[in-house]
């Protein structure tokens, strides 16, 4: 199937319009169609970074309106794209964006009340970083939030043995 090169942009604009009208189902449908069109024309539009950014932005938008399952789905897809991009990235941008989306996904799980998944993604986030707490304000804010929820102790370890086993 051949499509116009700008078809996916039109779909993204429709997705944004539906998002602002609070019709998340239609917004997702349009974004999925946009992504399908992008992937269908991958030989002409190998913009994996653009796709990762689109998923990341959508995940953040859904997080803002407390649509946690939709936010999780979009963020997981952006994380997958960033992991692919890290292999060829020379600037370090993909690694930074991966850390940012892992942080967002952890916050999504924490707000959603899914303690085990919050710990799992938190562990992935720390594993991605060269030096834990290396000036990332998001990490310290997230630590505070997880401590407040009773998930982490003061030393940033899980509060009980069961959580510790699952976070490894």
Residue pLDDT, tens place only, 36-76? 666 554 444 346 777 787 788 888 887 777 877 888 888 88
Higher pLDDT, 34 or 107: 107
Residue 96 to residue 104: CA distance in whole angstroms: 12
Residue pLDDT, tens place only, 105-149? 888 888 887 777 777 887 777 776 654 444 445 556 667 767 766
pLDDT at 99 over 60: yes
Q: What average pLDDT score do residues 14-22 get? A: 64
Q: What pLDDT score was predicted for residue 164?
A: 42
């Amino acid at each position: 199937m051949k499509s116009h090169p700008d078809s996916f942009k039109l779909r993204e604009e429709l997705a944004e319009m539906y998002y602002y009208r609070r019709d998340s189902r239609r917004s997702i449908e349009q974004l999925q169609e946009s992504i399908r069109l992008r992937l269908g024309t991958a030989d002409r539009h190998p913009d994996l970074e653009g796709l990762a950014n689109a998923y990341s932005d959508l995940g953040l938008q859904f997080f803002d309106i407390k649509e946690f399952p939709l936010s999780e789905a979009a963020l997981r897809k952006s994380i997958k794209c960033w992991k692919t991009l890290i292999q060829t990235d020379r600037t370090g941008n993909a690694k930074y964006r991966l850390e940012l989306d892992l942080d967002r996904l952890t916050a999504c799980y924490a707000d959603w009340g899914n303690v085990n998944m919050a710990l799992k993604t938190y562990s992935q986030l720390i594993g991605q970083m060269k030096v834990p707490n290396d000036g990332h304000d998001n990490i310290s804010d997230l630590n505070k939030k997880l401590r407040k929820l009773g998930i982490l102790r003061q030393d940033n370890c899980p509060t009980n043995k069961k959580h510790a086993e699952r976070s490894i």
